[in-house]
Amino acid sequence: MEIDEIFNMTNKPEYQSIDKIKKVFSCHTRFPVPKGEVWMGTDFLAQAGLSDTLDNHSRLAHELGMDLICLPVADDARYQPVLGYRYFKPSDIRTAVRSGHHLVVAVVDGPLQKQVSHAGLMETLTSWIRDRKKFMEAYTAEQEKILAMVDQCLEMGAHALVITDDMASEQGTMISPGDIDIMCTGFYTRAVEMVHEAGRHILLHSCGKITGLLPLLDSWKIDGLAAVQHRPNNLVELQHKLPGRIIMAGIDANFLEQKSFFGLEDDFLKIIALLKHSGGLVLCSACGLYKGYHIDRIKKIYALADSISASAAAPFKTGF
């Protein structure tokens, strides 16, 4: 089944969430906020009595009311870091797309993320400073592998991609935006071009404070941000500075971890109302769903978000 065929079958209930996300990716939505998660961990599924399989990812996403399913992909999961979630094969993308239940997003580790996974953060940064030529040789080799993976995910029918590349801490970028430009622009311009030529969307995930990278992200023509943190960035300001982009975020780790939402609920509702009012919001945690008790928390958070009316936006109150 071709992607356009799936998008056009919106008269059928099972395809309504796909149409909803298509509208979100065009930044034209004011209905109840769509939902999705970049990472659903093995223990999270186990709490629901489910093993960590492709079918069960789709099943749990459906039961929780998610509108998209994200699948981290790798050629061989045996050589990936153990982070609490599994990696899927590129062929699993096609299986999920053909099921027709969710918009399917492939999650691909970026070149810097790969470098850090192989050598560690400090070794990677030291290599950049001390031997830039050697670093760029390794980075270029890695980027070619990743671009091949991006191409494969597109061939498998992925509706969108998220590139995960941690470029920042909560204080700011790990190296200067100018250095990130030198290091990363070649990869991202090629990746964006590939994805856009296929008529799909590409989002970037980075932990930490990425406000200093916004001009660069704009120049790369990235379609949006995924699993970004509100506290160091201010999502409402990010949305204003990257107009027309998708913001797949809204649930910071501290909100997800609290047993009680007392003292946090009002700010959360105001932030989500403002983001939703501007369009292009997909409600998502900044940290992933890994722990068993996250199931009850995320249900409550989703119910809160669904309580917001289109006119609920109020003056922004910083932080939650």
pLDDT digits (tens, 9 = 90+) for 182-213: 999 999 999 999 999 999 999 999 999 999 99
How confident is the model over 202-244, as pLDDT tens digits?
Answer: 999 999 999 999 999 999 999 999 999 999 999 999 999 998 8
More confidently predicted of 71 and 85? 71
Contacts of residue 7, Cβ cutoff 8 Å, sequence gap at least 6: 18, 19, 22
Q: Which pLDDT does position 1 carry in this prediction?
A: 34
| Strand 160-164 with 103-109, pairing | parallel
Which residues sit opposite 201 in a β-bridge?
160
Nearest to 104 by CA among 167, 159, 33: 159
Measured CA to CA, the distance from residue 125 to residue 119 in angstroms comes to 10
Q: Is the pTM of this model over 0.75?
A: yes
Q: Which pLDDT does position 29 carry in this prediction?
A: 54
Of the pLDDT bands very low, low, confident and very high (cuts 50, 70, 90), residue 4 is very low
Share of the chain above pLDDT 70, in %: 83
